[in-house]
Amino acid sequence: MSTEVKSDLYKEAGVDIDLAQNLLKSVKEKISSTRRPEMLAPIGGFGGMFQIDLKKYKNPILVSSIDGVGTKLMVAMMMEKYDTVGHDIVNHCIDDIAVQGAEPVFFMDYIGIGKLRSPLYEQVLEGIADACKAANCAVLGGETAEMPGMYGNDFDLVGVISGMVDKDKLITGEKIKAGYAAIGLASSGLHTNGFSLARKVLFDQCGYDVHSTPEELGGESVGEALLKPHTCYWPAIKEALDSEEIDLDGMAHITGGGLYDNVPRILPEDLDVVFDKNALPVLPIFKLIVEKGAIDPVEAYRVFNMGIGMVWFVPAEQADAAIKICADAGFDAAVCGKVLPGNRKVTVN
């Protein structure tokens, strides 16, 4: 079993460790299915072990990132649907290291919760296992902590990803040049950012609940639109890294801060990027939030991804090849901007 449940309570306080073990059993097979050959058999469950494949990496760099799902969890609780947040935490973590060219190799989760309960617990772990399996990333370990006094009915979900890349294959953005094309890869929705503003507008201001179906969403409920899982771009990135047709010289994962704050993180300091906001469709959920909340466009593009979950930078003449790689891997993508001489400024027109 790669996931450990601890409870800081004891029998007399009414906690049923057996419940935890039974719930875990039902997802054990799914978690086990994420195994990779580099994983060593566990030793007493103290730490998970992963062997570095020296045939694969001459100069191995480990890339790690830790993240939470944030208040998207509150929408999951309102919907009583917990598998998608498992996908969210895994995919968010993977995208955060994949933009540096790292292959995701193992993942660990932490669930802090007031009272362990079914089906929440199995659904979260199933979502995690399914998302890891899809990206060929092992679930190496996990920790669940029951703390009634702290979480009440709520829970928090934290993920840690580790990936590997050879040092000379690290993608740093430093090779990006003026004239490069910015390729936008479509997002599925808010991913894991902007939920406080979205909840404020949709629930507090508009009076919607998760089951409301405003016509702007074309039949989808507010909860369904908000819970769409974070897109995992690794399948497209992997193809691009393996391809000899394109030089993928920079990638930015568009999370909190939007295009404005995330693109400059990898942009050389003497370059600007000008984005065209009409290059990719703005999803209905964004239109609804922006319109109902009368949100300033600049603010909207700072809080939300607005339909672009990732940006790739390639030489302009390789843009079509890059878009084809994305399409073949199942991702909508389009040229959505251009790199110009400047001073690390991002404009969205």
Taking CB under 8 A as the criterion, which residues in 73-102 touch a copy of itself?
A: 73-74, 96-97, 99-100, 102
Give me the 114-153 binding string for a copy of itself, x by CB under 8 A, dash otherwise. --------------------------xxxx-x-x-xxx--
When asked if residue 66 is in the footprint of a copy of itself (CB under 8 A), the reply is yes
128, 109 Cβ separation under 8 angstroms: yes
When asked if residue 195 is in the footprint of a copy of itself (CB under 8 A), the reply is yes
Tell me the site size for a copy of itself, rule CB under 8 A: 79
State which of positions 287-346 bind a copy of itself (CB under 8 A). Answer: 299, 303
In this structure, how many other beta carbons lie within 10 angstroms of the beta carbon of residue 219? 7
Stretch in the footprint of a copy of itself (CB under 8 A) among 25-33, 170-178, 306-314, 340-348: 170-178
For residue 155, give every residue at least 6 positions away whose Cβ sits within 8 Å of its Cβ, in sequence order, or none.
73, 111, 112, 113, 114, 120
Task: List the one residue from 54, 55, 294, 330 that touches a copy of itself (CB under 8 A).
Answer: 54
Tokens of 188: 């599925």
Tokens of 177: 């040049």
Beta bridge mates, 271:
341
Helix axes 234-242, 319-328, angle to 10 degrees: 130
When asked if residue 64 is in the footprint of a copy of itself (CB under 8 A), the reply is yes
Residue 39 DSSP class: B
Which lies closer to a copy of itself via its Cβ, residue 54 or residue 349?
A: 54
Alpha carbon 90 to its chain centroid, in Å, reads: 6
Which lies closer to a copy of itself via its Cβ, residue 14 or residue 330?
A: 14
Plot region of 240 (φ>0 → left; ψ -120 to 50 → alpha; else → beta): alpha
Stretch in the footprint of a copy of itself (CB under 8 A) among 22-30, 81-89, 192-200, 333-341: 192-200
State which of positions 239-278 bind a copy of itself (CB under 8 A). Answer: 252-253, 255-256, 262, 265-266
Q: For residue 293, what are the CA distances in angstroms to 129, 135, 205, 216?
A: 36, 36, 8, 14
When asked if residue 163 is in the footprint of a copy of itself (CB under 8 A), the reply is yes
In whole angstroms, how close is the CB of 324 to a copy of itself at the nearest point?
25
Task: List the one residue from 6, 25, 35, 211 that touches a copy of itself (CB under 8 A).
Answer: 6
